[in-house]
Every structure is written in C-alpha cells, then in structure tokens.
Chains A and B, each alone.
Chain A
Amino acid sequence: MKNLGEMLLRHEKFSEIVIGNTAIVRAFIESGVRVVTSYPGSPTPEIGTAIASIPVEKRPFYFEFSTNEKVATEIAYGASINGHLSCVFFKSVGLNVAADTFVQLGHMKLTGGMVVVLGDDPGAHSSQNEQDNRHLAQLSYIPVLEPSSPAEIYTFFKKAAELSVKKQMPVILRLTTHTCHQKEKVAFDSWTPEQFDNTPRFNSKDENYVPITSKVFPMKRRALERLEDLALNDPFESLDILHDHKNSRGIITFGTTYLSLMDVLLETANRPDILKLAMIHPLPKNKIMDFLKTHDEVKILEELDPVMEKEIKSMAYDNKISCRIIGKLSQEDHVGEYTPDKVRDVLFRTWNDLVKPAQKSETSVPVPVRPPQMCPGCGHRSAFYAIKKALKEDAIKVGDIGCHTLGFLPPYNMVELLMSMGASTGIASGMSLFNDKRKVVCFLGDSTFFHAGAAGITNAVFNNHNITLILMENGTTAMTGHQEHPGTGHNFDEPTQKIPVKQMLEGMGVKQILEVDTYQQQKLIEAVKEAIATEGFSVVIAKHPCMLKFMRTKKKKSGFELKQVHVDQNKCDQLNECITSFACPTFSRDEKGVVTVNEDLCIGDGSCVQTCPVSAIEFDGGKK
C-alpha cells in the first residue's frame, strides 16, 4: 500500500495521482510554510487528512484544527508577524466567522507572509449558500489567485506564498469544491528541507500594528498601493493561459469554468479566443485592455456574481474602449456551479451559432429521491424520535449546523429553521419574545458549541430567555469527517485537557442541565418534558457517541463479530413504527408490507428494539 505521508516528504521529484486537497500539502512543504491552521468545513477538510498522513515528528510545519475560523486566522496571523510563513484554510462561510480579523490583514505588514486558502462552494454542495468570497477579498484589499485543477493548486499556492513572503502581505488562494476534490496526476518538484530561524521577529517599534483612528489611513494607503502595483505589474502573468485564434470574439474566464468551457468548445470550429486569468483580484489592467481592444465582442464567463464583469466594464468605460462586453444575461447566470452543462447553456444564450443547446434529459421512469440520512445507529435518530414525543405539535424547533440538521427530514421534522454555525440559541431566544403560546426549543452540536455556540448560550443566561436548548453531543465533529474538538480530550496530534460541555454550561451559570444518553428514549422524553416545563433557560444534553466513528474503531479490533437485529415475522403486526417513525435506513419493506432488516446496513446497535410496540425486533440468536 502506498504511503501518502512518505510520498509528501520525498526529496526527489515525483508524479502521483492526487486530489487538490492533497496537492496543496506538498506545496506547503516546498514553500517552507511553518504554521497551518483551520476549522474543518467542506470542501477543504481533506487537507487535514493529507496532513495527518505525515507523522507529527516528521511534519515540517505546525498544524492545528482551531476552535473556529476566526481563531485559526488569528493564530496564522500571529505566527506570520513573528516571521513564520503561515497558512489558514477553511470553507466559504467560514470566512464570515473569520471576517472580523480577516478584513484587517490587508492593512498589516505580515513579516513572514500568509496565504489564506478559501474553499468556496458554487453549487452549494455542502453549504447553506453559494457566497462568492471575491467580494470579501475586494473589501479587504487582498489579492486573489484562482486555480482550476490540482496541478494548478500546487503551482499557484507556491507562487502565492512566494509573493506573500516577498511583499509581506496576505494572498488568497480561492478554491472551489471541484478544484479541491478533482483528481489528476500531478508532477511535483524536488524538496530540500530548510533550516528555519526561530527568532521572534515581531517588531512594533518600526511598524504599526495598532490600527486606531488616524493611524488607519497610512495602513489603508499601503494596502491600496500594493493592489495598484499588482494590477499594473501582474507577477502571476506566466500562470495565465491565452488561446489566440485571431477571432473577433473573445472570452475572459478563470477557475474550473475554464475547464468546462474547453470541453464544451471541443467540437466547435470557429472558436473564440480565450483568456484564462490566474490572478482575479486585482485584475491585470493592461492585459485585459489589450484583449478588449483586439476583439469586437468579449464574453465575461464567470461563476456566481458578476464581480469581474463590473470591473471590466468600468475599465472599458474609463478607457473609451468600444468592444461589446457581454456579462450575465439572466438571473439564472448567477446561480449554480458552472459545470459543462451550465456553461453550454450560458454560451448558447450568448452566441447561439457557437454551441448546440444542452440535451434535455428524459427520465421515463421517476426514481424516488434519496436525501442524506442519519446513519444506522445514529444517536441523533433516537433523540429526535424521543424528543418528538415530548414536544407539543406547535413547538418551534430551531436547528443548527451539523449531522443533526438532518432531523429536518421526515418523519422527524424536528428542524424547522437553520441559519449558521451556533445561531440556534440566539434565534430561539428571539422567537421566545412576546410568545407564551408556542414553546421554543433549539438544537446545537458539541463541536459547534465550542465554535460559535457559547456566545448565544451566555446571552440566554445573561438575559434570562425562556427556551430549552438540546445539546446533541456525539463527541466529535461528525459531518466533516470526525475531527477532534475541545470536548474530546484529544487535539489533532495528542491527548489534551478535555473541556467537558457540561462543566462549561455550569460555569456559564445554566441552572437546569439534564444529561441523558439518547438510547434511553423514555428517560430522554421525561428530561425534555421537565426542561420545557421550567420557566427560563434550560439545557438537555442528549448524548451518544457518533456510531459511524464508534463502529469503525470497533470493527478494527480483533475478535469483532457483528451482531444484527431481525424482525420476528410471527410477532410483527406491521404497525411500521420502526420504519415510518423511528425510520432507521436499515429497515426495508416489500410490496406486501413485510418489514425486514437490510443486512448490508444494520450495525447491531439495538436502539430500535425499544421502539417496537409488539417487541418483534430481536437480536440474532434471540428466542424465536
């Protein structure tokens, strides 16, 4: 079996099949990055997986998953102003959490350099929106590079780091879901380990790090000058791609949209010229003006918002360039990922002589939808099944981000609204005002509690809001791939002091805290009933370890034998409680209504046994 960690540390050149999230780790190493931080979030957490493949004692840089994106950014910043090249990575909406610190970075002198890696998510594959973080880059005066493939991620990161070190300024590498997860064979350079100077280089005598009142202006001027300089002297020009067929039509594009474009134009005879940019903020002025001047029509082909379009149009206006610039043509052009299908559609509506319209897929037989599910044995399922029985029909149920969000699905319908990380307690508090008719209950996961949830809870205690919080504690960051968090007693590398959720709540002054294992459904029902009957703020900790993680560990142990449940057909009255109310995906039902257990799926947790009104669910080997 190939050893990823060994490969990433190779001194000689090599080629390997990797996803973008792996390729970037080799770029960290070759660039001499010293400090890397993150909070897990799709599409970037597999960068952490690749880092974990390198044993900590051999890892040439420090890495941590921090408690949230803001803290992660602050650690990378702190390391950088002490002279270490640093990198922080997180998902699209993570930038909103980091923003308070992030927006200042462009003002600062980052002695060691710092690269911010953003995993944007056009197509909202695993996010609550499609936000285009180029807006935040503009707002913060920070340059952005956007690669389209794993090979480019690797090259662009190294170039971004190089500029960041040289100019002592932050640089953003903007990735998207399908650059992070794209797979190809990448040729990696050789690597010679460096000796680093660990002398703290922080210098507040010659450099201002306190942006207050009038001291802000010179910092802002420097940030603007840096951008202006990049716009006029693009240091990344060699990374651009130009297809020049001397056509009167041109297309300016970047990122994975370029890949879609190339595929869609594969069989087109009269191909427009294509300019693919590496640096997308600030825009390389001269290059774009030359391209506009030499074409009659130029399409700006960009995913999500018309950021580039607006800038190029204003550039053309200021310079009296007569080229017809074609941007977004409809609202739909702002929505969704620019896959080859989408690009074909956009191009057809732009120049209908250029490409054939997208094929209409004809589905003759409808197939039932398949939304994601809580796993077999998931403690959240037991919790939702029980809590539903404890609440009145008209109770308001506020969810949060995490696996428990899946409780929004039938048959539970236990999450009626969702906003952002840690938002549930605050929203629930607001909904409790002028409301003595409908009880407000909110949910929160344990990793999210540490991430951004604590502030809302503190507020609920501080201002004595009349709500019940149900803390769904599964002992891990499950949705993003089981990363550790402050409550697990283990950090990325080693055992560490455990910060128990319950003690935190006690310390914050929560008076009523009830703790129940979610498999004890009857007890949980009683606990929730007791909590909601209490005036003021109350918390129920509904805990059970993530069974996906638990079973993976258990299966690896020698002597493991899987026990499963079955349905005793003599006892089963087809009341369907297991399949339509508890709804573990393990249960299947045939045309005659006979319920059976899918042996591909049952993990033998037995949390379903108690749900059967006629006790027909039994463990194998049980009495027949």
Chain B
Amino acid sequence: MRNLNIFMTGVGGQGIGMLSEILVRAVDYAGYKFKGVDTHGLSQRGGIVVSQLRIGDNIHSPLIEKGEADIVIALERHEALRAGQEMLKPDGTLIWYDTSWQPLPVRLGSEKEIATKTVIDKVICKKNIRVFRNDLPDTRMQNIAVLSAMISNSLIEGMDLQACEKAMKDLMPEKLLAMNLDVLKS
C-alpha cells in the first residue's frame, strides 16, 4: 500500500485522543507499519487538539505536511473546515461530525459561526462524509460514531470492524467497551 496520511482534529474534551489510540491499534492489527503523534498539554483545555497518523512502509516523521493528508477526520464543524482547507489533499476524504463548539470570537460576537453547508461546499476533496447521529447515549461517543462511519465507508483497507473491536478491547474497561461497541456497530 502507498503511504496514507490521516489527520485528526477536534476540540479538547471531544475524545480525539481515544479515537487516535483506537485507530493506531486497529491499523496495527490490520498489519500496517505506522507512526503517530498526539497533542498533549495546554491545548487540551478547550483549544484545538490534533492527532496525526501516518501509515506505510516508508514513514519517518509522524507529522504530515500541509495539504498532504489523505483523510481528515474532524469531530467538530469549525475544525473540519480549518483542517479540510489546510491539510487535505484535493483528492482526499473529509469525514466529520457535525456539532458546533463555538470558538471564542463567535461567542463574543466578533465573528460568525461556520454553517454546515460551508463545510460541505467549500472543502475541496473527493469525498465529503458528514456524520450526525441522534441515537448516541453520550455526546462523548461522537468519536466512535465517526469511526463507525469510517468502517462502513471502507476508508482504510483492512481496518474493519474486527480490527477496531480488538483495538477497543485493548483500551477500554468492560462497561465502557460494551456501550462504545453498541455505537460502533449500529
């Protein structure tokens, strides 16, 4: 397989860290070589949290060059537009959860909130997958809802339900696992 660059983004508190842990492990179970890196520290307090995962046999840095992501995963609308424009290849895939955590300038009234339509119309990409579910038991499972959509759209060859389930078993205590697997499989 050629190198595949996955750029994940969201707001601190949305569960980007867990999503990236699951993906890394699922990719490993699928038999790929990879490198990853997460944001830790200050930004986790309501700022932008980013995680990068690069898959392939000839990978060195975990960091993706601007405009070189094959897949951008965003857990929030503003961040989908930001990363979709800055990081995504023109023939890449944007997959994003449509919720809005209004950034400071929007709340203060100095700038406008980004609309769903803007993300659909303005991001140049081959595939634009919007995820929204109203059956989630907890909003913190929006990350798993996105993962579920990634699997049904076969975004990463070999990274299937089985690989993700195995990865989640490594990372979650039983009760949490059961709830998250429900979301993953529905």
B103 interfacial contact with A, CB 8 Å: yes
Q: Which residues on B sit within 8 Å (CB–CB) of A369?
A: 103-105
B137 to chain A, nearest CB (A): 13
Q: Which residues on B sit within 8 Å (CB–CB) of A340?
A: 61, 63-65
A182 in contact with B36 given A367-B78, A580-B109 (CB within 8 Å): yes
Q: Which of B34, B85, B104, B122 is the most central at the interface, judged by chain A CB atoms within 10 Å of its CB?
A: B104
Please pick, from B35, B47, B101, the residue contacting A371 in the complex, using a CB distance under 8 A: B47
The answer to whether B37 touches A183 (Cβ under 8 A) is yes
A2 to chain B, nearest CB (A): 5
- CB-nearest residue of chain B relative to A366? B111
- CB-nearest residue of chain B relative to A409? B104
The answer to whether B101 touches A43 (Cβ under 8 A) is no
Within B97-150, the residues touching A (CB, 8 Å) are 99-109, 111-114, 118, 122, 139
The answer to whether B171 touches A358 (Cβ under 8 A) is no
B33 to chain A, nearest CB (A): 8
The answer to whether A480 touches B41 (Cβ under 8 A) is yes
- CB-nearest residue of chain A relative to B174? A1
A368 in contact with B139 given A1-B173, A358-B65, A358-B66 (CB within 8 Å): no
> In the docked arrangement, what's the CA distance between A462 and B177, Å?
58
B89 to chain A, nearest CB (A): 10
- CB-nearest residue of chain B relative to A260? B61
A259 in contact with B171 given A46-B40, A589-B106 (CB within 8 Å): no
> In the docked arrangement, what's the CA distance between A358 and B65, Å?
9
> In the docked arrangement, what's the CA distance between A409 and B35, Å?
35
Within A353-378, the residues touching B (CB, 8 Å) are 358-359, 361-365, 367-375
The answer to whether A365 touches B122 (Cβ under 8 A) is yes
Please pick, from B28, B82, B169, the residue contacting A17 in the complex, using a CB distance under 8 A: B28
B19 interfacial contact with A, CB 8 Å: no
The answer to whether B28 touches A263 (Cβ under 8 A) is no
- CB-nearest residue of chain B relative to A261? B60
Q: Which residues on A sit within 8 Å (CB–CB) of B13?
A: 375, 601
Q: Which of A43, A409, A600 is the most central at the interface, judged by chain B CB atoms within 10 Å of its CB?
A: A600
The answer to whether B43 touches A259 (Cβ under 8 A) is no
Within A456-485, the residues touching B (CB, 8 Å) are 479-480
The answer to whether A182 touches B170 (Cβ under 8 A) is no
A125 in contact with B41 given A263-B60, A599-B139 (CB within 8 Å): yes
Within B45-71, the residues touching A (CB, 8 Å) are 45-48, 58-68
B172 interfacial contact with A, CB 8 Å: yes
A126 interfacial contact with B, CB 8 Å: yes
A329 interfacial contact with B, CB 8 Å: no
Task: Report the interface size class on chain A.
Answer: 35 or more
List the count of A-B residue pairs having beta carbons below 8 Å apart.
183
A233 interfacial contact with B, CB 8 Å: no
The answer to whether B171 touches A1 (Cβ under 8 A) is yes
A339 in contact with B63 given A368-B106, A368-B111, A580-B107 (CB within 8 Å): yes
The answer to whether B37 touches A181 (Cβ under 8 A) is yes
B12 interfacial contact with A, CB 8 Å: yes
B6 interfacial contact with A, CB 8 Å: no
A77 interfacial contact with B, CB 8 Å: no
A605 interfacial contact with B, CB 8 Å: no
A600 in contact with B101 given A364-B85, A365-B122, A579-B107 (CB within 8 Å): yes
A182 in contact with B82 given A359-B65, A600-B101 (CB within 8 Å): no
B11 interfacial contact with A, CB 8 Å: yes
B165 interfacial contact with A, CB 8 Å: no
> In the docked arrangement, what's the CA distance between A583 and B106, Å?
11
Within A485-534, the residues touching B (CB, 8 Å) are none
Q: Which residues on B sit within 8 Å (CB–CB) of A362?
A: 85
Please pick, from A256, A480, A587, the residue contacting B107 in the complex, using a CB distance under 8 A: A587
Q: Which residues on A sit within 8 Å (CB–CB) of B68?
A: 359
The answer to whether B139 touches A600 (Cβ under 8 A) is yes
A417 interfacial contact with B, CB 8 Å: no
A497 to chain B, nearest CB (A): 30
Please pick, from B25, B62, B99, B105, the residue contacting A368 in the complex, using a CB distance under 8 A: B105
Q: Which residues on B sit within 8 Å (CB–CB) of A2?
A: 170-171
B120 to chain A, nearest CB (A): 12
Please pick, from B38, B61, B107, the residue contacting A181 in the complex, using a CB distance under 8 A: B38
Q: Which of B65, B139, B177 is the most central at the interface, judged by chain A CB atoms within 10 Å of its CB?
A: B65
The answer to whether A373 touches B45 (Cβ under 8 A) is yes
Q: Which of B38, B40, B43, B100 is the most central at the interface, judged by chain A CB atoms within 10 Å of its CB?
A: B40
B159 interfacial contact with A, CB 8 Å: no
> In the docked arrangement, what's the CA distance between A365 and B81, Å?
8
Please pick, from A364, A368, A370, the residue contacting B47 in the complex, using a CB distance under 8 A: A370
Within A1-43, the residues touching B (CB, 8 Å) are 1-2, 17, 19, 42-43
A344 interfacial contact with B, CB 8 Å: yes
Q: Which residues on B sit within 8 Å (CB–CB) of A372?
A: 12, 42-47
B91 interfacial contact with A, CB 8 Å: no
A184 in contact with B36 given A368-B103, A403-B45 (CB within 8 Å): yes
B86 interfacial contact with A, CB 8 Å: yes
> In the docked arrangement, what's the CA distance between A256 and B63, Å?
10
Q: Which residues on B sit within 8 Å (CB–CB) of A374?
A: 45-46
A576 interfacial contact with B, CB 8 Å: yes
The answer to whether B85 touches A365 (Cβ under 8 A) is yes
- CB-nearest residue of chain A relative to B87? A361
B24 interfacial contact with A, CB 8 Å: yes
Q: Which residues on A sit within 8 Å (CB–CB) of B113?
A: 588, 590-591
> In the docked arrangement, what's the CA distance between A438 and B13, Å?
39
- CB-nearest residue of chain B relative to A583? B107
Please pick, from B28, B46, B82, the residue contacting A375 in the complex, using a CB distance under 8 A: B46
Q: Which residues on B sit within 8 Å (CB–CB) of A162?
A: none
Q: Which residues on A sit within 8 Å (CB–CB) of B78?
A: 367-368, 370
A134 interfacial contact with B, CB 8 Å: no
The answer to whether B122 touches A341 (Cβ under 8 A) is no
Q: Which residues on A sit within 8 Å (CB–CB) of B171?
A: 1-2
The answer to whether B63 touches A260 (Cβ under 8 A) is yes
Q: Which residues on A sit within 8 Å (CB–CB) of B66?
A: 341, 358-359, 361
Q: 5 A-B residue contacts at CB 8 Å?
A: A17-B25, A263-B61, A359-B68, A368-B103, A374-B45
Since A178-B63, A367-B81 are in contact, a sample of 7 more A-B pairs with Cβ atoms closer than 8 Å, ordered by chain A residue number, is A1-B177, A126-B43, A369-B103, A370-B48, A372-B44, A479-B42, A598-B101
Chain A positions within 8 Å of B, measured between CB atoms, are 1-2, 17, 19, 42-43, 46, 125-126, 149, 178, 181-185, 256, 258-260, 262-263, 266, 339-341, 344, 358-359, 361-365, 367-375, 403, 406, 409-411, 479-480, 576, 579-580, 583, 585, 587-591, 598-601
Chain B positions within 8 Å of A, measured between CB atoms, are 11-13, 24-25, 28, 34-48, 58-68, 78-79, 81-82, 85-86, 99-109, 111-114, 118, 122, 139, 169-174, 177
